[in-house]
Structure 1
Amino acid sequence: MPKKSSPSFEQAMSELDAIVEQMESDQLPLEELISHYERGAKLLNDCESTLGAAKKRLETIKNAGTKSSSTPTTRAQTNTPSSSDDDEIRLF
């Protein structure tokens, strides 16, 4: 039997919402409630894993951008005067 592929994050969230709605309706027999709970727990775990991976990717991107923009520059590169008496803040 082929392994089922995991649903996308959005599909998992949608299915999770539907499961919660069904469980809150108080119309399901106990065995179905347990089955829905198990499925919901798996979907929740999948969603948390996806969000964790996305957060790590965003942190990596953020850190890469911070490292490249925080490289030291010399006065020649910034074209700012070297006068120590210059209290004016230069933006450009």
Structure 2
Amino acid sequence: MTTRKKAGSLTFEQSMQELESLVSQMEQGDLPLEDALKNFERGIELARHSQQKLKDAEQKVQILTSQNGQQNLDVFEEGN
């Protein structure tokens, strides 16, 4: 059995890669119900993590572009 990292410790790219792998496994349809449910639960966790990473990146871009050339930047607080 492979050990899975906590979703919060993965990069966006790692989360997406694992999510794509889970979806591929589930689409094949050979998983027992219990494994399919575990994969679905992990997929939801990864999707939420990826969504938060995208939201954080969007906020950073908005902070940087809304300054109109000013050198002062707002403090960014990353979501959990």
TM > 0.5: yes
Other-structure match for 1:10: 13
Structure 2: stretches of 5+ with no match in the other structure: 71-80
Instruction: Give the alignment's Cα RMSD to 1 decimal.
Output: 1.6
Q: Report the residue type matching 2:49 in the other structure.
A: D
Other-structure match for 2:45: 42
* Per-residue deviation, 1:67: 5.5
TM-score computed with the length of structure 2 as normaliser: 0.75
- Is 1:22 equivalent to 2:25 in the alignment? yes
Q: Report the residue type matching 1:42 in the other structure.
A: E
Report the number of matched residues: 65
TM-score computed with the length of structure 1 as normaliser: 0.66
Q: Hey, what's the Cα distance between the residues in 2 that align with 1:49 and 1:29?
A: 30
Structure 1: stretches of 5+ with no match in the other structure: 69-92
Partner SS for 1:27: coil
* Per-residue deviation, 1:51: 0.2
Which has the greater radius of gyration? 1
* Per-residue deviation, 1:6: 1.5
Q: What percent identity do the matched residue pairs reach? A: 35
Which structure is richer in relative contact order (CA contacts within 8 A, separation 6 or more)?
Answer: 2
